[in-house]
Structure 1
Amino acid sequence: MAEVKSNLSKQAESQLLSLFEPVKLSLLYKASVHGYNSAAFHNKCDRQGPTLTVGYNNSGFIFGGYTSKSFAQTGQYLADEKAFLFSWKSNDPEKQPLRIPVANAQYAIHDNNLGPNFGTALVFLNGNVAAVITNPGQYYTFNAAELHGGDLNLTECEVYRVESLGYALEKPWRTVQWKAEKRKELIDTIRSYKPPVLSVPQFRVLLVGPVGAGKSSFFNSVNSVFRGHVTNQAPAGSSATSLTTKFRSYFTKAGRDGKPLPVVLCDSMGLEEVTGAGLDVDDVVSIIKGHVPDRYQFNPSMAIQENTPGFIKSAEMKDRIHCVAFVMDACKVKIMSAKLEEKLSAIRKKVNFIGVPQLVLLTKVDEACELVASDVSSVYKSKFIEGKMQEVGARLGIPVSCIVPVKNYSTELELDCNTDILLLSAVVQMLRFADNYFDDISFDEKCD
């Protein structure tokens, strides 16, 4: 499906944003595309956190309401002291929007199975048609003519997720030296690493994550650091389905003619929420145990079997995965579906049972936060990114100490020292986690 575009002009969006502290608006629902009905609204907007509902009418009014609570069809009233209604006329762009705070916060939102319902004072999609009803009273006090000009018919209805962009903390919550010397130190640490198991020349990391999260781009970015320029060896880009269809073990060299580095990044097919699509959970187990050969073509409808051509029956320690890195897009943590979360949880349980350490790479932190976009070294001063790391940790059941933010190279032609430091720091964490794996195996397996 083509990208759904907002009806808000830049001026109108700016006016809306003036009602908040620094926030980011992400379009969840558009009635003209998804349907003027409550079922479509709830399918797109339930459990999305704070939202802004925006209605448009032929009289030139842009109006609606905000709630900091999640819609969940509880059938109850939701208390929300932060809720408010708003309005302004699009033909008067210089005038500040009218802001109507909730008068009785206990009844701010009527969370039923109908459309967005602000305490019955303003109800969208009434009767599953392009209209609203208004009932000024004890929950919200306003003049209906000022809110919508008496025009109850909608030309469009949109709902946006509202995400705080936070602010720059006075002190970073993780300490990083953003210097060229630190970059060199990290490179030297990776180059000089030797696995403690004699039969294992390189530690192997499996990258697992949803389609488009940046798994292949992460390898390309790390490879770029050691090549000295931006490269694009692994297929990467934007697509609704996984661009990676084969299992690939990517080796990185210290320069074009240098020695192979002691890390192998293993790329896998992207995860999809639909059954029979994307990477199969059982394939992940086979990869970790070393049974899947390089360049194996994934079959989303059937996991690899012992009788599958190329299946490695007698996998050695060097063939196994020594660390699993879940790759998550910082821009999409909030909208991760329940089915995808269930699939990630199933993989986590399997990996835990096998005993392989896990971490999370939080990608696209620059796209998620304007503060980081303007200065990568601000990543640990960003309250927003800190919140994202806590959120992904809670959803995957992984401690924040096991989550590292990264920025992949995507549009750049030249390397950046601070971007390199984030990428190299992630690889060093993988190295440390792999060491934990080797520490846990029996003494006999460490010997020839």
Structure 2
Amino acid sequence: MFILQQRRSNNLHDLLSISVLRQRQEDLDYVQEYRPLKEDIKHLRVLLYGHVGAGKSSFINSVSNVLRGRMTIPALTSAMTSDRSFTIKYATHKFSKGRGSSKTFYPVVFNDIMGLEDGNNSGIHPDDIKLALKGHVKEGHKFNPAGKLEDGDFGYNPSPSTDDKVHVLACVLSANTPQINASVLQKMKKVRETASELGIPQIGLMTHIDSACGEIEKDLKNVYRSKHLQKKIKDFSSAVGLPLNCIFPIKNYSDEIDMKEDVDTLILSALRKIIDFGDDFIEKC
């Protein structure tokens, strides 16, 4: 009897593995074949924001890994525990395809910004995120926690093109975060209100799901079975104001030295939804 149950369990695991592989390939093909329909938009632009240490830069690296099929380091991250943002400049991250003379770039780019911090004179100013949404922040602008970017400043873009503007706003939150400070939540609310006024679609990315739940750490396929994670996602939804079906659990590449299909699958699933939401918005621009 035990042997029969074990065989059934193994067969179910094999079926799940095949399903994961099939879905991973479908999502990868979808991302690789995507092109914005409007000629004046070369890139679907995604802006990542969230509290310090949420994993914004690590997500960019993870997307690069999945699209390149190997470990890459396009965005610098901090390996040290800190309550200060490692990202200080406004940077656009592109993902390359191919090598040498045949090298091209995917038409999806990510903008990484300074993390939100508690207090009025630390972390990125929420008004700077609002300007970024509208395309008014120049590439390489160094954020100043003590003062927001103003019209006429060196880092201000007075005439943003449609391509400069943000097409998807992604809020990144760590599942390890016990509670978000009220001041950080207020800053998030201001950013979300501006995005809503502009009609920009918004999603949530919940990171560090493996370290927040032993069940998921044991097997990443348990991601949608974990009651602990379900509660975390519901809390995230209530705190930030995002619908449950717009929040995607992911695991960033961190201590791995080789690619893992389960990790890829979650990242590609989120990336495909980002493209869908952004493409819908581009059609309306």
Per-residue deviation, 1:230: 1.8
Paired amino acid for 1:355: G
- Cα separation, 1, equivalents of 2:156 and 2:239: 33
Per-residue deviation, 1:280: 0.8
Per-residue deviation, 1:255: 4.3
Matching of residues 247-286 of structure 1 within 5 Å: 247-257=90-100, 258-286=103-131
Q: Tell me which residue corresponds to 1:305.
A: 150
Per-residue deviation, 1:371: 0.9
Q: Tell me which residue corresponds to 2:250.
A: 406
Q: Tell me which residue corresponds to 1:37.
A: none
- Cα separation, 2, equivalents of 1:359 and 1:234: 21
Question: How many positions carry a matched residue from both structures?
Answer: 266
Deviations 1:66-120 (A, max 9, x none): xxxxxxxxxxxxxxxxxxxxxxxxxxxxxxxxxxxxxxxxxxxxxxxxxxxxxxx
Q: Tell me which residue corresponds to 2:5.
A: none
Among residues 298, 317, 337, which one is paired with 2:181 in the alignment? 337
Matching of residues 80-99 of structure 1 within 5 Å: none
- Cα separation, 1, equivalents of 2:189 and 2:220: 30
CA gap 1:231/1:213 in 2 versus in 1, 3 angstroms: same
Paired amino acid for 1:419: V
Q: Tell me which residue corresponds to 1:241.
A: 84
Q: Tell me which residue corresponds to 1:223.
A: 64
Matching of residues 287-436 of structure 1 within 5 Å: 287-332=132-177, 334-436=178-280
Query: Tell me, what secondary structure is at the counterpart of 2:60?
Result: helix
Larger helix proportion, structure 1 or 2? Answer: 2
Matching of residues 67-106 of structure 1 within 5 Å: none
Deviations 1:20-53 (A, max 9, x none): xxxxxxxxxxxxxxxxxxxxxxxxxxxxxxxxxx
- Cα separation, 1, equivalents of 2:125 and 2:28: 34
Q: Would the aligned equivalents of 1:178 and 1:421 in 2 still touch at CA under 8 Å? A: no
Give the TM-score of the pair, scaled to structure 2: 0.89
- Cα separation, 1, equivalents of 2:95 and 2:61: 10
- Cα separation, 2, equivalents of 1:256 and 1:416: 23
- Cα separation, 1, equivalents of 2:131 and 2:161: 13
Paired amino acid for 1:278: G
Per-residue deviation, 1:178: 4.4
Per-residue deviation, 1:176: 10
Per-residue deviation, 1:198: 1.4
> Is it true that 1:208 corresponds to 2:52 in the alignment?
no
CA gap 1:408/1:200 in 2 versus in 1, 3 angstroms: same
- Cα separation, 1, equivalents of 2:228 and 2:76: 30
Larger strand proportion, structure 1 or 2? Answer: 1
CA gap 1:326/1:177 in 2 versus in 1, 3 angstroms: farther
Query: Tell me, what secondary structure is at the counterpart of 1:234?
Result: coil
Per-residue deviation, 1:290: 0.8
- Cα separation, 1, equivalents of 2:180 and 2:62: 25
Structure with the bigger RCO (C-alpha within 8 Å, sep 6+) is 2
Give unpaired runs (5+ residues) of structure 1.
1-174, 442-448
Q: Would the aligned equivalents of 1:291 and 1:311 in 2 still touch at CA under 8 Å? A: yes
Q: Would the aligned equivalents of 1:178 and 1:377 in 2 still touch at CA under 8 Å? A: no
Per-residue deviation, 1:301: 1.1
Q: Would the aligned equivalents of 1:203 and 1:262 in 2 still touch at CA under 8 Å? A: yes
Deviations 1:113-137 (A, max 9, x none): xxxxxxxxxxxxxxxxxxxxxxxxx
Q: Would the aligned equivalents of 1:363 and 1:407 in 2 still touch at CA under 8 Å? A: yes
- Cα separation, 2, equivalents of 1:204 and 1:355: 14
Matching of residues 160-171 of structure 1 within 5 Å: none
Matching of residues 120-199 of structure 1 within 5 Å: 178-199=19-40
Paired amino acid for 1:440: K
Give the TM-score of the pair, scaled to structure 1: 0.57
Per-residue deviation, 1:348: 1.0
Q: Would the aligned equivalents of 2:149 and 2:155 in 1 still touch at CA under 8 Å? A: no
Matching of residues 14-53 of structure 1 within 5 Å: none
Paired amino acid for 1:391: D
CA gap 1:224/1:272 in 2 versus in 1, 3 angstroms: same
Paired amino acid for 1:367: S
CA gap 1:255/1:274 in 2 versus in 1, 3 angstroms: farther
- Cα separation, 2, equivalents of 1:242 and 1:178: 38
Paired amino acid for 1:201: K
Query: Tell me, what secondary structure is at the counterpart of 1:317?
Result: coil
Per-residue deviation, 1:180: 2.5
Paired amino acid for 2:85: S
Taking every aligned residue pair, what percent have the same amino acid on both sides?
34
Q: Would the aligned equivalents of 2:74 and 2:93 in 1 still touch at CA under 8 Å? A: no
CA gap 1:176/1:392 in 2 versus in 1, 3 angstroms: farther
- Cα separation, 2, equivalents of 1:176 and 1:182: 10
Q: Would the aligned equivalents of 1:276 and 1:301 in 2 still touch at CA under 8 Å? A: yes
- Cα separation, 1, equivalents of 2:276 and 2:108: 12
Indicate the structure (1 or 2) with the bigger Cα radius of gyration.
1
